Amino acid sequence: MQIEPFLEIRGNVHRNQPRVVSISQPTEYGTVYSVVEIKKLARWAHRHNLLLHIDGARIANAAVYLAESVAQFTTHAGADVVTFGGTKNGMLFGEAIVVLNHRLTGRIKYLQKQNMQLLSKMRFIGAQYIAYLSNFLWIANASHANLMARLLETEIKGTPQVNIIHKVQTNCIFARIPADIVAPLQAYSYFYRWEEGPARDNSMPMVRWMCSFNTQREDVLAFADMIKKLINKKNDKI
Going residue by residue through the chain, which has 238 residues, state the pLDDT in tens, using 9 for 90 and above: 678 888 888 889 998 888 999 999 999 999 999 999 999 999 999 999 999 999 999 999 999 999 999 999 999 999 999 999 999 999 998 899 999 999 998 888 788 778 877 777 888 889 999 999 999 999 999 999 999 999 999 999 999 999 999 999 999 999 999 999 999 999 999 999 998 656 566 789 999 999 999 999 999 999 999 999 999 987 776 6
Rounded to an integer, what distance in angstroms lies between the CA atom of residue 160 and that of residue 232? Answer: 9
Q: What pLDDT is recorded for position 119?
A: 77
pLDDT at 196: 66
Q: List the domains of the chain with CATH numbers.
A: 4-132 (3.40.640.10), 143-237 (3.90.1150.10)
Q: How far apart are CA 233 and CA 237, in angstroms?
A: 7
What does the pLDDT read at residue 115?
80
Task: Give the DSSP H/E element, type plus range, for residue 56.
Answer: strand 51-56
Amino acid 200: pLDDT: 60
Give whole-number Cα distances, 99 to 45, 47, 57, 75, 214, in Å.
16, 20, 15, 10, 30
**Helices H, strands E: what count in the chain?**
8, 8
Tell me which residue of 153, 202, 139, 206 sits closest to 177, measured CA to CA: 206
Residue 15 is given by DSSP the state: S
pLDDT of res. 109: 78
Single pTM value for the model = 0.91
**Rounded CA separation 160/158 (Å):** 6
